[in-house]
Amino acid sequence: MRYLKKERSPWELINLVDSDLNEFVEKLKELFEEGLVESINGKLYLTSKGEEERDRLNLKVYNTRCDRCEGRGIVKDPFGVLDEYKKITSNRPRPTAEYDQGYIKEEDVMRRIAFIYERGDLENSEIIVIGDDDLISLGMGLTELPKKIEVLEIDDRLIEYINRIAQEYGFSIHARRFDVREDLPEDLFKKFDVFITDPVETIEGITLFLSRAAGGLKGKGSAGYFGLTHLEASLTKWREIEKRLLEMNFVITDMLRDFNVYPMKDNLEIAEKDYLIYRRIYELTGSERIDADFYRSTLIRIEAIDEVRPIVSGKVELKDEIYVDDESLVTAKATRR
């Protein structure tokens, strides 16, 4: 209720509250049922009863985020290569639901690289990237700081694109085909200082991605970076993921909340009405368009404190359960169940 001082799109409101999408929808239902909120032309408003309740609770809104860095704490172009990065990614392959793809804003890619640099994990590092929808490998290549970058990717379009650009620019980057259901290639075991991945958010899926990535690390002191939302991952799921990281001998050193923003206009691979969260929001509010970049993820850094122990090894037979569970409301594959 705090953020309904003025009219809000439900998609804007998602950005402002601390809950997963299932919780958000259930709470919004309660507000409607209690007569505290109404929807007019797809916009949310407090009713007179809602305004009275807001005043009774003394709910106020203050701006707590830095305008210069958009609340990220990291500037967007410390290396001076953002314009060139936008140029070389301008003809990138479009995301496809087949592999649950989606990419973040170019500015956020540069912020992520800046953070990796700040933590001492970029210069002279050997880096493995598992899944590169964001084309972060090319952004890191532009900085000329990593020693080498190996990209493991299932999408042949991205493999061709990354290798072509890397050859044109003389980057020490190589991309090859890889399915996380297969074991890590033998020549990549324990060869890297850093891994970067943006895993799916089912427990089975994220365990698989993190295990494959961990298998590539040299050992104690090696670091990993991955994104995790609070939209398709409840706190219960976060707890289980943290337990599995500890089991693999990792500790969490840094968490940058909502650091990565996914531009919806670029990532809507299927029709809006086909997304499960769209259907549920539409049924409640009548909102006909996703009009805000509501999908964001927290950037997490982990570090190995001892020998890395991946939970999963060898080939696995998982299928759609890698991508989909009861919290997968923005995962395109969930619409095909």
* Integer Cα distance of 155 and 178 in angstroms: 9
SS3 175: strand
Residues 230-266: pLDDT tens digits?
Answer: 999 999 999 999 999 999 999 999 999 999 998 887 7
The average pLDDT across 61-87 equals 90
Percent of the chain residues past pLDDT 90, beyond the cut: 77
Residue of 133, 225, 127, 130 lying closest to 172 (CA atoms): 127
pLDDT attached to residue 330: 87
Whether the pLDDT of residue 123 is over 90: the answer is yes
**Poorest-confidence range of 79-93, 161-175, 253-267?**
253-267
Percent of the residues in the chain that have a pLDDT greater than 70, as a whole number:
96
Instruction: Provide the Cα torsion 184, 229, 106, 165; round to 10°.
Output: 10
Q: What is the DSSP letter of 184?
A: P
Partners of residue 303 on adjacent β-strands: 223, 251
Contact between residue 21 and residue 277 where contact means Cβ atoms under 8 Å apart? yes
- Quick one: pLDDT at residue 337? 46
Backbone angles phi, psi at 289, to 5 degrees: -135, 140
Sorted by where each begins, the domain ranges of the chain are 10-56, 82-274+292-311+318-336
d(CA 262, CA 285): 23
- 129: β partners: 151, 196
pLDDT band with cut points at 50, 70 and 90 for residue 157: very high
Does CATH place domain 82-274+292-311+318-336 in 3.30.360.10? no
Q: How confident is the model at residue 134 (pLDDT cuts 50, 70, 90)?
A: very high
DSSP string for 10-68: HHHHHHHS-S-HHHHHHHHHHHHHTTSEEEETTEEEE-HHHHHHHHHTT------S-TT
Between strands 250-261 and 296-304, the pairing is antiparallel
pTM for the full predicted model: 0.93
Cα angle for residues 233, 156, 322 (degrees, 5° grid): 25
More confident residue, 95 or 132: 132
User: pLDDT tens digit string along 258-310?
Assistant: 999 988 877 666 556 778 899 999 999 999 889 999 999 999 999 999 999 99
Q: Closest Cα to residue 127, out of 137, 118, 119, 117?
A: 137
pLDDT for position 332: 66
- Asked if residues 112 and 132 have their Cβ atoms less than 8 Å apart, the reply is no
Q: How far apart are CA 252 and CA 234, in angstroms?
A: 18
What is the model's pLDDT at position 173? Answer: 98
pLDDT value at residue 336: 47
pLDDT tens across 38-69, in order?
A: 999 999 999 999 999 999 999 888 888 888 88
